[in-house]
């Protein structure tokens, strides 16, 4: 799996993903910091990446456009640092790996996770 870490999350998330054997890149390494959410989503879809974000707008884009991708992991916590949430996120990715590979929106917080298969109806 390949992950695109959104601008609103620390570049240190890339290491969390790569330690698990997944590819990862921070948006700052491939795109402009001021890019719109739609540009980020388009890039991820075109390049086969799952978007990892703290931004609720990405999920809204998926819902409004009834898109089948890219998959999205949306973190809904105050503390979004890898030191706090890294282990939890890896568990959730492993749990929903097959759905993320085919198209899903996964929402994660400190204690629970939820998945919706794309397209969102």
**CATH architecture, range 2-117:** 3-Layer(aba) Sandwich (3.40)
Confidence band, pLDDT 50/70/90 cuts, at residue 31: very high
What pLDDT, in 10s, does the model give residues 60-70? 999 999 999 99
What is the average pLDDT score of the chain? 96
Q: Cite the beta strand spans of 6-121 per DSSP E.
A: 23-26, 50-53, 72-75, 104-108, 113-117
* pTM metric for this prediction: 0.96
What pLDDT, in 10s, does the model give residues 8-20? 999 999 999 999 9
The domain limits of the chain are: 2-117
């Amino acid at each position: 799996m390949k992950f695109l870490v959104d601008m609103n999350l620390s570049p240190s998330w890339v290491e969390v993903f790569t330690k698990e054997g997944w590819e990862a890149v921070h948006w700052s390494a491939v795109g402009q910091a001021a890019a719109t959410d739609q540009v980020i989503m388009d890039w991820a879809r075109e390049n086969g990446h799952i978007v990892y974000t703290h931004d609720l707008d990405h999920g809204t884009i998926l819902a409004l456009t009834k898109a089948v991708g890219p998959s999205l992991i949306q973190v809904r916590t105050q503390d979004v640092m890898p030191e706090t949430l890294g282990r939890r996120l890896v568990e959730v990715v492993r749990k929903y790996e097959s759905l993320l590979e085919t198209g899903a929106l996964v929402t994660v917080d400190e204690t629970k996770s939820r998945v919706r298969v794309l397209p969102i109806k």
